[in-house]
Amino acid sequence: MIKPYGKTLVILRDKVETESLGGILLPEEYTDRKLNQGKVIEVGTDPEITVPVGSLIVFNDFAGTEVEWEGVEYLTIPEEETVCILPKEA
């Protein structure tokens, strides 16, 4: 697993849905984009980090650096690029 330093978060970005809830295939212009939200899977070494592992967050559009590790694409972002933490579904 990737281990970030400082106030850096490792994010597993959410995938864009290719089909609507009603079963309609969505156009390619919609499905080619990357979402600016994802799950925090690892946090840096700074003890002042406030975003916990497992949080679903929204981050700035052009934040971070994409990293591929063992065939999986991750995004590393500074904690300051976090816009909000989304509530967990009940």
pLDDT in tens, 9-53: 999 998 766 676 787 776 666 556 677 899 999 999 999 999 999
Name the residue with tokens 């300051």: 80
pLDDT of residue 90: 43
Residues in a beta bridge with 68: 73
More confidently predicted of 17 and 87: 87
Whole-number Å distance between alpha carbons of 33 and 87:
23
Show the tokens assigned to 89: 């579904």
Count CB neighbours of 74 within 10 A.
Answer: 22
Give pTM, 2 decimals.
Answer: 0.81
